[in-house]
Amino acid sequence: MTSLPALLRLPVFLVLLAFLLQPGWFEPLLKPLVQESAPAVYNRGSLFWLTLLHLRTVLIATLAATVVAVSLAILVTRQAGAEFLPLSRSLVNIGQTFPPVAVLALAVPIFGFGEKPTLIALFLYGLLPIFENALTGLTTLPPAVIEAARGAGMTERQRLLQIELPLALPVILTGIRLSVVISLATATIGSTVAAKTLGEVIIAGLQSNNLAFVLQGGLIVAALAVLIHDALQALERSLAGRAHV
């Protein structure tokens, strides 16, 4: 994903916030996209609350995927768990094998309509990038640092918590960033199974042939993805800089 120039990030954030809190201010810009009698601004709910619910769904799914993926990466990089690497790779690839729409179709009969099927789809879809990056981060650590930690008498648990994970964190965060950006876009399909996401705005626009609604939903998701991508990327650089100090 292309990053925004630093000078544009704050203006984009402020415009996005203004649109979510006061969408009526932007009605003149959207009016040419709709027929005379059609509303130019989404009027079937609060864009602000839909955005918060969208972000909450992505956050919950990403946190769950991070815990599972990083735990698996730690397991298979230990001597006792190395034999489980092929199995772990097969497990985290499930989300990439089944499209999110297929996961939703399978989950709805079990969990019903709403947020749960969407969380499951996003969780499965987000596992792979986090796992692979965590695996890379934990297996490419400087051998001299690990040997020095052993020589200092640190236990395996101490090495993991105090040396390995802090050094691997920037690479792990890259996987989390990729997972978040994917989930932000993918979460929109959750509205097809009655989850409260920004997909509701896009679907409403498609159903009523209202281009302004479709544009609003799409642009909000795109702006969120770019802003969060850039924020996490800046955090990665900061952590990487500290790791090399």
- What is the spatial distance between Cα 44 and Cα 61, in angstroms, rounded to a whole number? 26
Give the mean pLDDT of the chain.
89
Range 195-199, long-range pairs (CB < 8 A, 24+ positions): 195/57, 195/113, 195/114, 195/115, 195/117, 195/118, 196/50, 196/53, 196/54, 196/57, 196/115, 197/50, 197/53, 197/54, 197/57, 197/118, 198/50, 198/51, 198/54
Percent of the chain with pLDDT over 70: 97
Are 199 and 190 in contact, with CB atoms under 8 Å apart?
yes
What is the reported pLDDT for 145? 83
Share of the chain above pLDDT 90, in %: 49
Residue 47's SS3 state is helix
Alpha helices in 77-210 (DSSP H): 85-92, 94-97, 100-111, 115-139, 143-151, 156-159, 165-186, 199-207
Task: Give yes or no for residue 104 having a pLDDT over 90.
Answer: no
Q: Above 60 in pLDDT, residue 37?
A: yes
User: Which CATH architecture is the domain 49-243 placed in?
Assistant: Orthogonal Bundle (1.10)
What is the C-alpha separation between 126 and 179, in angstroms, rounded?
Answer: 5
User: Structural domain boundaries of the chain?
Assistant: 49-243
For residue 243, what pLDDT band results from cuts at 50, 70 and 90?
low
pLDDT, position 150 = 81
pLDDT confidence of 1, banded at 50, 70, 90?
low
Per-residue pLDDT for 5 more than 80? no
Count other C-beta atoms under 10 Å from residue 238's C-beta.
12
Q: How many CB atoms lie within 10 A of CB 2?
A: 7
Q: Is the pLDDT of residue 2 over 80?
A: no
Contact residues for 140 (Cβ-Cβ < 8 A; gap 6+): 171
Closest listed residue to residue 124, CA positions, set 104, 153, 140: 104
pLDDT digits (tens, 9 = 90+) for 56-69: 999 999 999 999 99
pLDDT for 93: 87
The predicted pLDDT at position 161 comes to 87
* Mean pLDDT computed over 77-103: 84
Q: Inform me whether the pLDDT recorded for 6 exceeds 80.
A: no
Task: Enter the pTM of the model.
Answer: 0.91
Residue 244 has pLDDT above 60, yes or no: no
pLDDT tens-digit readout, 121-161: 999 999 999 999 999 999 888 888 888 878 887 888 888 88
How far is residue 225's CA from residue 116's CA, in Å, rounded to a whole number? 22
- Flag whether pLDDT at 245 surpasses 60: no
Residue 83 clears pLDDT 80, i.e. is over it: yes
Q: For residue 3, is pLDDT > 70?
A: no
194 near 114, Cβ under 8 Å?
yes
